[in-house]
């Protein structure tokens, strides 16, 4: 079993060093570094130093476009959207919704600059974190994105009629295709730069997030590793079934398409008394055949009040026990 953890919330090197040593001693193999738009704008050299230190210590390093453009997972705002509102997703009522359009050329070019910065470090992979369409839309599919000018003109060119305001199968297919096209370009670019591509799906394979079929993305040759994050408490789902079925789906896809795989276990926002559920989730994933497990996130997110567990020490201790049992 290989273990990983996400690292965020600190950019002070002397503390980074201390943290990484602790994580190494605990038995982690992989570090997932959040690398937000804010980090890219103001901490570029700092991030290189941090990632390279992880690499020198012997960790495998995955780098996460955390919250980028509002289309990746993560508690980070998008400066790109703030400066370039016209690149945003527009809903069928004609309103901007707060996520970047997957067809935005400007955004894709900005992401490539970020990939260049990551490739200049000793990072091993880009960790494409929970790509999704805007989730602020209420009452999907009555309200949906994206119906911006770019999307309307591309849709009409492909389907031979104006993009409708009412959601239909063509719109659904068009959205899927937009995401696939985005990843084809981004992951090819990352690959050319010598980086692997690790893709993590939101745990609900659904049209409402825009990834209605994981397989369409897993098929891309440039994707090396696929996974998901069945956070049973965050999504309010039954633990065994949610973690079990996500494990099965990921294993099936990875085997059929010859990719590596991974799975995340929730180690944030755990209510008091539910700490032992992490062990159950781990046992289920292991039993299904998952061989790379990651935890979100470092120190059970004690330092991030929005997602901190009621008793972070106890959650982190549970993580430690899981790792100890396999050492
Ligand atoms: Zn659009």
Q: What percent of the chain has pLDDT over 70?
A: 99
Report CA(70)–ligand 1 centroid distance (Å): 13
Q: What is the mean pLDDT of residues 300-318?
A: 98
Report CA(195)–ligand 1 centroid distance (Å): 28
Report CA(215)–ligand 1 centroid distance (Å): 23
Give pLDDT, residue 280: 98
Cα–Cα separations (whole angstroms), residue 234 to 3, 9, 202, 271: 21, 20, 12, 11
- Asked if 28 contacts 7 with a C-beta cutoff of 8 angstroms, the reply is no
Report CA(90)–ligand 1 centroid distance (Å): 6
Give pLDDT, residue 195: 98
Report CA(80)–ligand 1 centroid distance (Å): 15
Give pLDDT, residue 134: 86
Q: What confidence tens digit (pLDDT) does each residue in 195-249 have?
A: 999 999 999 999 988 899 999 999 999 999 999 999 999 999 999 999 999 999 9
pTM (2 d.p.): 0.97
Report CA(86)–ligand 1 centroid distance (Å): 10
Q: What is the mean pLDDT of residues 172-186?
A: 97
Rounded CA-CA distance 72/52 in Å is 24
At 326, is the pLDDT very low, low, confident or very high (cuts 50, 70, 90)?
confident
Nearest to 178 by CA among 193, 195, 166, 163: 163
Domain ranges of the chain: 2-79+105-127+176-326
Residues 6+ apart with CB under 8 A from 85: 96
- Asked if 221 contacts 194 with a C-beta cutoff of 8 angstroms, the reply is no
Report CA(114)–ligand 1 centroid distance (Å): 22
Q: What is the mean pLDDT of residues 37-50?
A: 98
SS (H, E, C) the chain: CEEEEEECCCCCHHHHHHHHHHHHHHCCCEEEEECCHHHHHHCHHHHHHHHHHHHHHCCEEEEECCCHHHCCCCCCCCHHHHHCHHHEEEECCCCEEEEECCCCHHHHHHHHHHHHHHHCCCCCEEEEECCCCCCCCCCCCCCCECCCHHHHHHHHHHHCCCCCCCCCHHHHHHHHHHHHHHHHHHHHHHHHCCCEEEEEECCCCEHHHCECCHHHHHCCCCCCEEEECCCCCCCCCCHHHHHHHHHHHHHHHHHHHCCEEEEEEECCCCCCCCCCHHHHHHHHHHHHCCCEEEEECHHHHCCCCCCCCCCHHHHHHHHHHHHHHHC
Taking each helix axis from N to C end, the angle separating 105-119 and 44-57, rounded to the nearest 10 degrees, works out to: 50
Quote the mean pLDDT of the chain. 97
Report CA(151)–ligand 1 centroid distance (Å): 4
Give pLDDT, residue 29: 98
Q: How far is CA 158 from the centre of its chain?
A: 30
Report CA(278)–ligand 1 centroid distance (Å): 39
Give pLDDT, residue 327: 60
What is the greatest pairwise CA distance in the chain?
60
Rounded CA-CA distance 116/98 in Å is 26
Q: What is the mean pLDDT of residues 164-180?
A: 97
Q: What confidence tens digit (pLDDT) does each residue in 88-141 have?
A: 999 999 999 989 999 999 999 999 999 999 999 999 999 999 999 987 667 899
Give pLDDT, residue 139: 86
Architecture of domain 2-79+105-127+176-326: Alpha-Beta Barrel (3.20)
């Amino acid at each position: 079993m290989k273990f990983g953890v996400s690292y965020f919330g600190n950019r002070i090197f002397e503390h980074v060093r201390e943290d990484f040593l602790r994580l190494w001693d605990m038995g982690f193999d992989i570090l997932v570094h959040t690398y937000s738009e804010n980090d890219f704008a103001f901490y570029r050299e700092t991030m290189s130093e941090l990632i390279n230190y992880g690499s020198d210590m012997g960790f495998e390093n995955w780098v996460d476009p955390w919250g980028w453009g509002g289309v990746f997972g993560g508690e980070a705002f998008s400066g790109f959207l703030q400066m370039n509102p016209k690149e945003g997703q527009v809903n069928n009522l004609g309103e901007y919704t707060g996520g970047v359009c997957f067809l935005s050329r400007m955004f894709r070019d900005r992401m490539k600059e970020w990939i260049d910065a990551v490739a200049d470090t000793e990072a091993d992979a880009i960790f494409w974190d929970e790509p999704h369409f805007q989730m602020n839309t209420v009452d999907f599919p009555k309200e949906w994105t994206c119906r911006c000018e770019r999307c309307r003109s591309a849709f009409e060119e492909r389907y031979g009629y104006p993009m409708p305001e009412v959601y239909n199968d063509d719109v659904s297919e068009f959205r899927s295709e937009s995401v696939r096209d985005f990843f084809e370009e981004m992951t090819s670019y990352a690959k050319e730069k010598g980086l692997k591509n690790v893709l993590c799906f939101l745990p609900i394979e659904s049209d409402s997030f825009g990834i209605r079929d994981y397989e369409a993305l897993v098929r891309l040759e440039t994707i090396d590793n696929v996974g998901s994050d069945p956070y049973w408490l965050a999504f309010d789902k039954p633990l065994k079934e949610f973690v079990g079925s996500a494990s099965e789906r990921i294993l099936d896809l990875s085997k059929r398409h010859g990719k590596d795989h991974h799975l995340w276990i929730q180690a944030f926002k755990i209510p008091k008394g539910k700490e032992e559920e992490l062990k159950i989730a781990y046992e289920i994933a292991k039993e299904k055949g998952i061989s790379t497990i990651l935890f979100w996130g470092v120190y059970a997110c004690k330092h991030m009040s929005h997602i901190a567990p009621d008793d972070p020490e106890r959650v982190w201790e549970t993580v430690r026990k899981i790792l100890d049992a396999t050492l």
